[in-house]
Amino acid sequence: MAPADKMRGGEPANLILKGTTLEGDLRFGAQLVVAGVIKGNIHCESMLIVERGGRVEGRIEAPLIVVHGELVGTVLATQSIEIWSGATVGGDVAARSIRVDEGAMLTANLLIAADLPDRLGPPDPVQAPKADPVPAGRPVEPPVTRSQPASPITPPASFLSPGPVTDRR
């Protein structure tokens, strides 16, 4: 059996065990295996494995990401991401290749492209909503809301169904 600090392929590994929570800007030069929780900006120069029961959230960069637990945030997998049965992935995900097993949950803005950047750009600055200026001396009136009749909901066309039924006479 391999030593605990060496995982797949005999490569050294960083282990974040169940019950451990890390927060902040974190960099890992070797493989990272997460069974606990990590929140923040995470840069891993090797494989990132999120074990069942583990959770990673934030801005995540790694060449290969394998998810058995939860992964949420802005994710860049410069090679590929694998989402195994029972795993949950959400947020903005970019990868050169993706694998999603039956029983996995992927709720993300997904970009799959061969020409991805090697790094995530800086995070977008948070902007406070701008208030409309009110001329001095004028009372502020609440906005008027009008109810709109509900539009009929039509289910989206599927690859398995021919779409909406129309009269073809």
Q: How many CB atoms lie within 10 A of CB 40?
A: 15
Residue 106 belongs to domain spanning: 8-112
The bridge status of strand 26-28 relative to strand 48-50 is unpaired
Mean pLDDT of 143-169: 45
Residue 48 falls inside a structural domain = yes
Residue 3 falls inside a structural domain = no
Instruction: Calculate the alpha carbon distances from 166 to 52, 67, 70, 161, 162 in Å.
Output: 47, 44, 43, 13, 10
* Residue with the larger pLDDT of the pair 98 and 127: 98
* Residue with the larger pLDDT of the pair 109 and 147: 109
Among 43-47, 81-85, 119-123, 140-144, which stretch is predicted with the lowest mean pLDDT?
140-144
Whether pLDDT at 90 is above 60: yes
Residue 143 is predicted with a pLDDT of 56
Mean pLDDT of 62-89: 96
Residue 128 falls inside a structural domain = no
Does the pTM surpass 0.85? The reply is: no
Model pLDDT for residues 10-53, shown as the tens digit of each residue: 678 899 999 999 999 999 999 999 999 999 999 999 999 999 99
Residue 44 falls inside a structural domain = yes
Our count of domains for the chain comes to 1
Mean pLDDT of 135-161: 49
